[in-house]
Structure 1
């Protein structure tokens, strides 16, 4: 099912800035109250503003939203959002001057359309809301035909000074899928949540309505109106309404249904906290809003409304604020939700995975909560709850001292006592533990650890996110779940002349090192992509004073959060074997640096294959659960000695990129301030690496000949059997030799080469090495033998004139498999092996 399919189930759709509102199927809805949105992660969300549960049944055992729709959580999770324009995001940053100017031009154009040919809109405003033509023009209403869904009546959202801050447009036709269409927010900003409609009667009261329709209906009677864009915003618009009302009495006109009651209750509590005098007006018939009320008797509506406004009950401060605290709010789960909202209100967010704990959103990326920030926030939430309870208790005491004129002190005292008891428990270690524990399981907080840093082509920077495939700078989006950031602004045109000169200095030979500076750009660019498509690692090899450390130190500083420096021993053989636990720290990194291993110590070849491939790696952090991750980094081994590889299989050597650092800088040539000079070009080095990434995505690494040749020579000289195969043995498709003779020859050869006993292989290891080098192991009647190799004969090699002459082996071998007339080509000590 797609989101379009889901929305198609509803007869009425109201579009908002970050989603849609449709009639809730779980309760009798006079107007849409079920919010439908898409999260940053692409998940479709449902929330009833009247409080209907989404997945479970109500306390009265009535179906929740999903059950009423004939769906389950699994069905909802499977809904594909498709190409949606609205995402569940929130920002309180107001639109800038350019966006406001563009909006003003649109509104002026639509107003001109209304005056010149908007009879249909005039008729609708008159019949539906009671506005005459003069009202429409005074309020700046407009007529638009190009917004989608047919012709529309445009209602501008202006502040009290008349500055345009948004709009909503009502479809005039009955077949429009979206009735109220909101203005698309500018990038990184938001249009206002509240608009001001000036009346003409001069009444003292300011009416607050849900949405523009009721606002127009109240304004037609003469009232000044603060219209709220949607009922779900009730908790965040109090400051705007206080500013607009400017000390005048406020009357909240919610709908006569559950959603309207929740709107009035929440807003009244927020206004009461600010010391405002608040009254509540509810239409006399259940399910009606102000416009429905008017439609029942247009002629009597004006007098009915003014009478109801005058008699609307005042919501006392304590009563109004307590109305916002239902029994459902006094639970540990509700406290966890308040904790989540505490982060969101600060422009942050929180996520949790069992493998790594909590993550907190900071500057567009998710930081591991290393300093117990979640628990600190829980303490703040608990303290705020205690302050609210204590403040209500003080106000209740003032009511008692005033003689309890409304006779409400006794009932209020019980409710305040209940809130104080809950607040006291919330401030204990047990209460805070419970809040944090429940937070872990809240939908939208719990996340699979593998979901972090999954978008390898994206690189977070200070001023956004870079798409490394194109070099384009994108806006920050928490939904990417990136955990690391380059602490630099990305400027595509930034340069790094000293850095590029440095690369030419450390690879100076135009013929021998041809293409190496450009290759390093592609290699580093490939590394920061997080891709392992090349399945390779680089060995930066040189004897010292050659620029190797300056290169790795500079890259580490520029890409500090994406770089992990790990001990060389991580990739060396260990007695215990297996995958080392320090690999857990490599998850999510892009560059991994390891320097100066122990000379002669064999490398852990299986580990190197795993970390440079696409297979899952099992690891865990200290005292955490095991998790699996796929490598997303380029390994750079910087060493004065070439690492020792025993194996010769293609699976290993095709991964090796040996980069020789052959330049030696004499003491007089060394610039001890070079590191600082290079870091002064950090922004240019970032742009240089991004260009390398774009090149890699387009063309691949493209190893220059010097890398190919150096790696080939490295492989040949790293072979532990070099001199034996080829040498004592040679490759021959028709060749064959017994395992016993082969191993005896190997032992004799190790004696000749003076290999220490600890470096001599067992028969099993030696046989495996022959197979690794292409020989085929088979078992015959007389034991193991190998095909594809044989002993070298005299014509197979250049004669060694210094070696003593060796008599040819007798032609009648004792073993029928050893039938070849082979003659060793090395010293006499090997002859006994045959």
Structure 2
């Protein structure tokens, strides 16, 4: 920061004039700004941090805990004086630098050291009395105690204000349990600031703005709170919580992504900002960011007169958990605040009298949800998010009924005021309203709403050439991006922007490394994955990535599954393995979960397990598939997924009909990486190229639409070898029998020859075959059987001559 004479003209306040107004005295350079004496407290030490942004905005922060308002009042300044300040900026508008491993390691050392002091400490008592967190919970949350004497060998990021008072140490963990930030809570009540942060680890680098709080017993429902105090309170009631450092941080897309990345799939996020204006701004800002990521978001209603979750618990610790459960269950879906509430976005229907029927209540629900809601048998309610149609959780479904009940309660109050509580109109309306507040009334209204908003499953995801990204929908035939459209009725979303110019040099290098001896395979894999993301099924392809370990196939599949997470599904080994009693009509959640999925990753089979060929044919045939989730109805959908399996062992396949082998694409992974060749950071490096990998896949889709898959010779040869080695009759046909367009042989004679061959060769898999099984397997190999006077005979084959047997 450059110090020059004070601007006397008063047009703008120079930064040096601001420092003088704040108290003058010694000015100490500090990372990203300077330290001066704080006018709001009288210790005389420079503890007020002042920085200047490039846009002329001055930031002040007292490290002793004085509020900004207190500092400005003591200095005779206004908030407006912090804007339009001239001088050399000390802070850049560049995005924050990622935390370096050294800073994280040092933080982990401190967290571990502080956690060792928690048992029996003042902080353990405080955590339980204030937030309801037991020592066992605290151990899982990595809470700690620091009276200012904790020491570690790593860098110390604590400030003087932090170590001046004993603190409950609350780490801000990521979803993997790694500390990415920390706040310390004053437990003695003597610090002007209850919560104090650590100093920044380096210039331009910041600690995480979010922290995950969950124990082994936490629900998947995530409460999002302003700060760690309410997060701890939510955890004590059984919830997963994420703490966010204030409404300013909540407006950042980066914060929303930190919050969502790593969260349980399909988790419901409930915004629990403080019960004040700042808290409402927090909920509105973060709700908008989460909705843009296609996340299910609801808003918690904290009782009137209570500021936050901690205060709610303090008002009645014994009843808090049950009351919170009810409030979470009743939490309505987040909705954007209308900037012009006097001009509704759609005309409101004229209020109709309470009819008291379930259909009337369903119509009231329709008035609430409008055209943004649809129902599909076997799938459930779907809601338009502005990008895609997303399946509602059971909580959001019930919330529709709650909103109807709330609207009826408001109308009931008007009826009472108009007619009196002894009137027949009021008594009838009261009875109707009470029913809507019961489970039976909500269920009945939702049942009829299903009928009113009903659609067929084929109405959705019917455009395989379209793929939705965060910033629009791409036509995969051309690679062109356009705006999201409700009428496309797409249900799957890739939660990243599409950038057609994004590059992926490390991914390209990786493909060359795993296919060093086949120049055609990298381009083929681009077309294959491009075909997969289209949702087309005309190739009927099943991709089998085969090769012994340490060859890159798992990295390939896992990277794609992560980058394409929104359109990727997984099929378990139990579903893929052969089942003697396989019933296509049975309840099969693994199959039902593939609706709308475009890339299906099949679990590798253990060595020796037989592949469920019937299932693979069913999923790749391109014909409608009937599926049923547990406890849900049957529905029929069109499969859209490319089946992909990475395996060290080629699955056991018994069938020899062309149907299965025509579908199979066996991609050989022949490279074997030594320990010296392996890059431990490769997966992280590849994921950093996600935008480029997405562009690579879209390019592959356009190439496939233009010219098909075009299998390399290596893939065709690998399939032919696999088929021959899987043929249980290899050695018998051809061998004992040979193909001859003019040849014939009695089926009984062929059966006798088969039994002799089987016993001599000891082919264990066919020991139990009878004549019918033998005939069926010959038929699958295109050997026809016809009736003749001497009995059935086989056409197109004959017994091999001695020289032919030797050759076979």
Measured against the shorter chain, the TM-score band is 0.5 to 0.7
Partner of 1:496: 504
Partner of 2:400: 377
Cα distance change, pair 239–595 in 1 and its aligned pair in 2 (3 A): closer
Shift of 1:425: 3.0
Structure 1 residues without counterparts, runs of 5 or longer: 1-187, 189-235, 243-262, 268-323, 397-408, 800-824, 826-834
Cα distance change, pair 482–759 in 1 and its aligned pair in 2 (3 A): farther
Partner of 1:627: 635
1:759-816 Cα deviation digits (max 9, x unpaired): 54221111122222232212222222212111211343657xxxxxxxxxxxxxxxxx
Shift of 1:237: 12
Shift of 1:435: 2.0
The answer on 1:539 being equivalent to 2:552 is no
Cα distance change, pair 741–410 in 1 and its aligned pair in 2 (3 A): closer
Q: How do 1:529-678 and structure 2 match up within 5 A?
A: 529-579=534-584, 581=588, 582-678=590-686
- Say whether the 8 Å CA contact 1:514–1:704 is kept in structure 2: no
Match of 2:435 among 419, 425, 428: 425
1:793 and 1:639 map into 2 onto residues whose CA distance is 40
1:374-403 Cα deviation digits (max 9, x unpaired): 112211231232134336646x5xxxxxxx
2:339 and 2:691 map into 1 onto residues whose CA distance is 41
Match of 2:708 among 700, 711, 719: 700
- Say whether the 8 Å CA contact 2:758–2:766 is kept in structure 1: no
Partner of 2:460: 452
Shift of 1:459: 0.9
- Say whether the 8 Å CA contact 2:728–2:766 is kept in structure 1: no
1:197-229 Cα deviation digits (max 9, x unpaired): xxxxxxxxxxxxxxxxxxxxxxxxxxxxxxxxx
1:326 and 1:543 map into 2 onto residues whose CA distance is 70
Partner of 2:104: none
Q: How do 1:222-241 and structure 2 match up within 5 A?
A: 239-240=341-342
Structure 2 residues without counterparts, runs of 5 or longer: 1-291, 293-337
2:421 and 2:568 map into 1 onto residues whose CA distance is 62
- Say whether the 8 Å CA contact 1:464–1:475 is kept in structure 2: yes
Cα distance change, pair 504–431 in 1 and its aligned pair in 2 (3 A): same
What RMSD in Å do the two structures reach over aligned CA positions?
2.7
Partner of 1:335: 361
Shift of 1:526: 0.4
Shift of 1:335: 2.8
- Say whether the 8 Å CA contact 1:542–1:662 is kept in structure 2: yes
1:133-162 Cα deviation digits (max 9, x unpaired): xxxxxxxxxxxxxxxxxxxxxxxxxxxxxx
The answer on 1:352 being equivalent to 2:352 is no
2:694 and 2:416 map into 1 onto residues whose CA distance is 58
Shift of 1:628: 1.7
Secondary structure in 2 matching 1:780: coil
> Please, which moves more after superposition, 785-794 or 749-758?
749-758
1:540 and 1:613 map into 2 onto residues whose CA distance is 20
> Please, which moves more after superposition, 328-337 or 430-439?
328-337
Shift of 1:757: 6.4
Secondary structure in 1 matching 2:394: coil
Secondary structure in 1 matching 2:660: helix
Partner of 2:219: none
Cα distance change, pair 759–472 in 1 and its aligned pair in 2 (3 A): farther
TM-score (norm 2): 0.55
1:586-644 Cα deviation digits (max 9, x unpaired): 12110111132132333232322221112222221112222222211100121111122
1:329-372 Cα deviation digits (max 9, x unpaired): 6654343233233234xxx8221122222222224222222333
Shift of 1:417: 5.4
Partner of 2:232: none
Shift of 1:733: 1.7
2:340 and 2:719 map into 1 onto residues whose CA distance is 69
1:600 and 1:674 map into 2 onto residues whose CA distance is 31
- Say whether the 8 Å CA contact 2:569–2:599 is kept in structure 1: yes
1:796 and 1:325 map into 2 onto residues whose CA distance is 90
- Say whether the 8 Å CA contact 1:750–1:760 is kept in structure 2: no
2:574 and 2:615 map into 1 onto residues whose CA distance is 11
1:729 and 1:586 map into 2 onto residues whose CA distance is 43
1:410 and 1:612 map into 2 onto residues whose CA distance is 66
Secondary structure in 2 matching 1:618: strand
- Say whether the 8 Å CA contact 2:576–2:603 is kept in structure 1: no
1:505 and 1:771 map into 2 onto residues whose CA distance is 43
1:241 and 1:379 map into 2 onto residues whose CA distance is 25
Cα distance change, pair 430–636 in 1 and its aligned pair in 2 (3 A): same
- Say whether the 8 Å CA contact 2:736–2:805 is kept in structure 1: no
2:602 and 2:507 map into 1 onto residues whose CA distance is 22
> Please, which moves more after superposition, 763-772 or 600-609?
600-609
Q: How do 1:188-207 and structure 2 match up within 5 A?
A: none
Q: How do 1:59-74 and structure 2 match up within 5 A?
A: none
Partner of 1:485: 493
Partner of 1:215: none
- Say whether the 8 Å CA contact 1:340–1:349 is kept in structure 2: no
Match of 1:770 among 742, 764, 778: 778
Cα distance change, pair 341–500 in 1 and its aligned pair in 2 (3 A): farther
Shift of 1:468: 1.0
1:761 and 1:459 map into 2 onto residues whose CA distance is 49
Shift of 1:507: 0.6
1:411 and 1:624 map into 2 onto residues whose CA distance is 44
1:465 and 1:720 map into 2 onto residues whose CA distance is 48
Tell me how many residue pairs correspond in the alignment. Answer: 467
Shift of 1:570: 2.2
1:653 and 1:747 map into 2 onto residues whose CA distance is 27
Shift of 1:701: 0.6
Partner of 2:743: 735
1:31-83 Cα deviation digits (max 9, x unpaired): xxxxxxxxxxxxxxxxxxxxxxxxxxxxxxxxxxxxxxxxxxxxxxxxxxxxx
2:526 and 2:534 map into 1 onto residues whose CA distance is 12
Cα distance change, pair 770–332 in 1 and its aligned pair in 2 (3 A): closer
1:772 and 1:368 map into 2 onto residues whose CA distance is 43
2:506 and 2:343 map into 1 onto residues whose CA distance is 57
1:757 and 1:650 map into 2 onto residues whose CA distance is 21
> Please, which moves more after superposition, 474-483 or 410-419?
410-419
- Say whether the 8 Å CA contact 1:514–1:706 is kept in structure 2: no
Cα distance change, pair 418–492 in 1 and its aligned pair in 2 (3 A): same
1:481 and 1:749 map into 2 onto residues whose CA distance is 59
1:71-114 Cα deviation digits (max 9, x unpaired): xxxxxxxxxxxxxxxxxxxxxxxxxxxxxxxxxxxxxxxxxxxx
Match of 1:790 among 784, 787, 798: 798
The answer on 1:469 being equivalent to 2:495 is no
Match of 1:680 among 688, 691, 713: 688
Secondary structure in 2 matching 1:684: helix
Partner of 2:788: 780
